[in-house]
Amino acid sequence: MALTIETRALATGYPGYPVGRDMNLTVRGGRVTALLGPNGCGKTTLFRTLLGLLKPQGGQVLIDGDDLAGLPRGEVAKRVAYVPQVVEGYFPFSVMDVVLMGRAPHLGMFAAPGAVDRRVAGEALAELRIADLAERSFTAISGGQRQLVLIARALAQEAPVIFMDEPTASLDFANQFHVLDCISRLSHAGRTIVISSHHPDHALRFADDAVLMETGGVFAAGTTGDTLSSETLSRVYGMEILIAEVTAGSGGNAYRVCLPNPDDGPVTP
């Protein structure tokens, strides 16, 4: 079942340090939503608030109509998975053990993963094309491989909503598009995916919806085609940005891509 996330008059920030305010958003179920904006605009703070890791400074976050603030953490974990940016490995867990950690919401107190949990974890590794890493130490693989392992852990959690914080940040060019294709397939299978990204091109290519942020809150939100334009991107990023259409592939498909205007320098929003 695809879950919808809503915010109502949401204010984000920290005690004595407000970041965003009056944010009313709807993240539609079964779709990929890209959260975009310049450094320091509040993307990470909004992300952490939607996950329940930060308390709202005002307003509400609703998951399928239920107030996030009133849900036990175990119930939240069954509905929402989180893929952070690449983390350093400090303990030599095997890759399989790290992915099995995603099964925790489905296990009882002091229970150990069983055959079903190992099957689900193995399928998640296969989906990301890293099954051969299963017995490797998490501390001994590359940063890009660790990112793929963290995504596999989220898949193994089997939550209908997955938040991904810059999921392609440490990946090479080929693996970036492999991960984005995987994200697209997950949404087509009914999962709700929210990704934070610094790449409008990725949103134009793979996201159904976009949330464009500027300092103080949300500047624009809606379908990707309606939200991401030369005008909106230029204002938010403070430089002249062009959106061009290119034709590629044997079918002659048209794609929109972002380009800095070579004739102009930075602009004042």
Q: Which two tokens stand for residue 211?
A: 């949330």
Q: What DSSP string runs through 185-206? A: HHHHTT-EEEEEES-HHHHHHH
266: which DSSP letter? B
Tell me the pLDDT tens digit for each residue of 111-145. 899 999 999 999 999 988 899 999 999 999 987 88
Residues in Cβ contact with 16 at an 8 Å cutoff, skipping those fewer than 6 apart: none
Q: What is the pLDDT of residues 37-62, one digit of tens each?
A: 998 888 889 999 999 999 999 999 99
- DSSP for 83-130 reads EPSP----S--BHHHHHHGGGGGGS-TT----HHHHHHHHHHHHHTT-
Q: With 80 as the cut, is the pLDDT of residue 261 above it?
A: no
Task: Give residue limits of the domains in the chain.
Answer: 5-228, 229-269
Which residues fall within 8 angstroms of residue 253, CB to CB, at 6 or more apart? 247
Model pLDDT for residues 130-188, shown as the tens digit of each residue:
999 999 999 999 878 888 899 899 999 999 999 999 888 878 888 888 888 888 888 88
5-228 has which fold?
Answer: Rossmann fold (3.40.50)
**Confidence band, pLDDT 50/70/90 cuts, at residue 264:** low
Report phi then psi at 167, rounded to 5.
-65, -15
Residue 22: pLDDT band with limits 50, 70, 90:
very high
Beta bridge partners of 13: 18
pLDDT band at 262 (very low <50, low <70, confident <90, very high): low
Q: Is residue 154 within 8 Å of residue 80, measured between CB atoms?
A: no
* Residue of 120, 176, 98 lying closest to 144 (CA atoms): 176
Residue 190: how many other CB atoms lie within 10 Å: 12
